[in-house]
Amino acid sequence: MLLKAVLLASLVSLTVGRDCRILPTDPSWPTKHEWDAFNKSIDGRLVNTVPLASPCHDPTFNQEQCDTIRNNWHIPEFHEPSSSSMMDPIFLNKSCDPFDPRDTPCRIGAYVQYAVNVSAPDHVIKAIHFVKQHNIRFVVRNTGHDYMGRSTGTGALAVWMHHLQDIDWIKTFRSAKYTGSALKVQAGVTGFNLLAEAHNRGVVAVAGECPSVGYVGGFIQGGGYGGLSSVYGMGADQTLEFEVITTQGQFVRASPKENQDLYWALSGGGGGTYGIVWSVTVKTHRDLPVTIASLNFTSDGISQDLYWQAIDAYQAITPNLTDSKLWAFTGYSSSSFSLYPVYGINKTVAEVTASLRPLLNTLDSMGINYTTGADTYGTYLDAYNSGTIFKSLTVGNALFDTRLLPRSLWDSSEKLASLQKIIRGLVDQNRLVFDFTQSATLEVAGHPQNAVHPAWRNSVKYFTMGLPLTDGESFVQSMQQQNQIATDISPLKQLTPGSGSYLNEAALNDPDFKADFYGPNYDRLLQIKDKWDPDQILYGSIAVGGDRWRETDGGRLCKVRR
């Protein structure tokens, strides 16, 4: 019996060594002495994961602390300083849920096992060598603002880039295709901090609407959209140069002149896939006045059919908005419609109102009561602080899927009617429904050479729908919700063949993720992935090359045998 157990353990060890990353329960997991030696080599910056919600469970239960955790669990800033927490709890697989009963075990589970609090490139390089030596899963993370699960992993060692906060002003950056001011941004900086620094310099930089989004990782490398995209293009369109640590332990630069393939992939081809980005240098633009407008109406006193006819009238003028280079956020429900904010960069109140005038005239003719308003701000940051609804964003309480809606839908009355019917159907099913109106065309962006999905270039709306998550629900229930979302958005995908979805905000189980997230760029991106990450250290389930691996029920990451 003992011999059988030894043989079985040996077989498991061989299988793990050949095909899978190891876990802390494996005999080959590094000893305490080895971890201590590694910690010493990185200047004592190794962080042992203690789940954020551990005070909500025995044996470390503390009622006061647990109440604070529960009250703040859905606030992004609560998770941002953590080396292990995630703003989307589905990826933690109920490892240590603050809403579970006190006697439910708090496990590290799907949290990273350790994190390196990075302050120097050598810390990243030594972490890479360590995970290669011991066959440990490797993760790159910043704030934990991640809807695709790339910032955590069972048994993983993470390089935590969050404290790399330098933003350097470059008065004149010169290259073959750009001469002008720029900002060199380290990997831990958030979009909001970048906007503030740009404002202090009298310029703007293209950043996202959510303040807690890491700028260098998810935003830039994922493509990145925001309130300036209709005027200056996507976040990835702003890149001038990257500093990158490769998975071979080299510190390199990537630009249109140097390591061009890596530069191309990092500019929109997905974060945490080709290398560990230390910094990115991006273009800045003149800080121009911004007009913010709003339009709201409800279904009070009118029939549902008339209410939806009013919304259909809004949908019909979408090209009017994008042709005027406006950017807008729209929220839909069965009882209220909200168009706010509408950003008009370097536009007056009269100019923005003129773009909305066809809709206002239609609403007047229909007898719809509405409220509208507009104000002009001297700088983009002033407008952002006044107009963004995402400063009060909550996290971890919904699952989403997305679709880019091409302008061609508006060239066909039949397709537009189908779109309107789909949106109403989703709202009638009590789905969370909203969209972003923008047009980051190649012309607007300056014809960049990068890996941004081409569907962004001819889309005029970025559509989002979701289902709420309930605190304390099981992982199985959450995955059922995820499957339901895929079913719900299917008609929209059928209406828009050849379009795409945003690779930072989409369904986890998209069977067409290669086409939806990367489009015709996928094969080239895979070649670049294999060149710069030949040992496949960097992993994400929907990242380029992600389908070569799978997570077992216990969270172990294993190669897919083909």
Cα–Cα distance for residue pair 442/33, rounded to 1 Å: 54
Q: Which helix (H) or strand (E) holds 47?
A: strand 46-48
Amino acid identity for residue 246 in this structure: T
| Cis peptide bond N-terminal to 406, omega within 30 | no
Cα–Cα distance for residue pair 91/111, rounded to 1 Å: 9
Helical axes 413-428 vs 475-495, angle rounded to 10°: 160
Here the contacts of 60-66 (C-beta below 8 Å, separation 24 or greater) are 60/106, 61/102, 66/98
259 close to 531: Cβ distance less than 8 angstroms: no
Specify the residue for token string 């042992």.
48
Report CA torsion sign: 92, 94, 97, 103.
Answer: negative
477 close to 268: Cβ distance less than 8 angstroms: no
- As assigned by CATH, the class of the 167-287 domain is alpha beta
Amino acid identity for residue 214 in this structure: G
Cα–Cα distance for residue pair 113/26, rounded to 1 Å: 14
Percent helix, strand, coil in the chain, to 5, is 40, 20, 40
- As assigned by CATH, the class of the 21-160 domain is alpha beta
> Which residues touch 546 (CB under 8 Å, ≥6 apart)?
513, 539, 540
Question: Which residues on neighbouring strands pair with residue 276, listed in sequence order?
Answer: 245
Cα–Cα distance for residue pair 71/562, rounded to 1 Å: 47
537 close to 128: Cβ distance less than 8 angstroms: yes
221 close to 269: Cβ distance less than 8 angstroms: yes
∠ CA 488-494-499, nearest 5°, is 105
pLDDT for 522 equals 99
Cα–Cα distance for residue pair 493/486, rounded to 1 Å: 10
Supply the DSSP string of 272-316, one letter for each residue: SSS-EEEEEEEE-EE---EEEEEEEEE-TTS-HHHHHHHHHHHHH
Multiple choice CATH, 290-519, 3.30.70.270, 3.40.462.20, 3.40.50.720, 2.160.20.10: 3.40.462.20
Cα–Cα distance for residue pair 354/348, rounded to 1 Å: 10
Rg (CA), the chain: 24
Residue among 173, 246, 158 at smallest CA distance from 205: 173
- Domains in the chain: boundaries: 21-160, 167-287, 290-519
Residue among 51, 90, 281 at smallest CA distance from 171: 281
Mind listing the pLDDT tens digit of every residue in the chain (562 residues)? 444 444 444 444 444 556 999 999 999 999 999 999 999 999 999 999 999 999 999 999 999 999 999 999 999 999 999 999 999 888 888 899 999 999 999 999 999 999 999 999 999 999 999 999 999 999 999 999 998 999 999 999 999 999 999 999 999 999 999 999 999 999 999 999 999 999 999 999 999 988 889 999 989 999 999 999 999 999 999 999 999 999 999 999 999 999 999 999 999 999 999 999 999 999 999 999 999 999 999 999 999 999 999 999 999 999 999 999 999 999 999 999 999 999 999 999 999 999 999 999 999 999 999 999 999 999 999 999 997 777 778 888 899 999 999 999 999 999 999 999 999 999 999 999 999 999 999 999 999 999 999 999 999 999 999 999 888 888 788 888 888 998 999 999 999 999 999 999 998 889 999 999 999 999 999 999 999 999 999 999 999 999 999 999 899 999 998 7
Structure tokens given for 19: 């095909």
How far lies 182's CA from each of 197, 236, 285, 310, in Å?
Answer: 11, 14, 9, 44
User: What is the bridge-based pairing of β-strands 157-160 and 114-117?
Assistant: parallel
295 close to 361: Cβ distance less than 8 angstroms: no
Cα–Cα distance for residue pair 239/448, rounded to 1 Å: 9
What are φ and ψ of residue 15, in 5° steps? -65, -45
512 close to 499: Cβ distance less than 8 angstroms: no
First to last CA, the chain: 34
Q: Which helix (H) or strand (E) holds 465?
A: strand 459-468
Q: Read off the pTM.
A: 0.95
How far lies 452's CA from each of 71, 261, 434, 459, 501, in Å?
Answer: 38, 14, 23, 13, 11
Amino acid identity for residue 182 in this structure: A
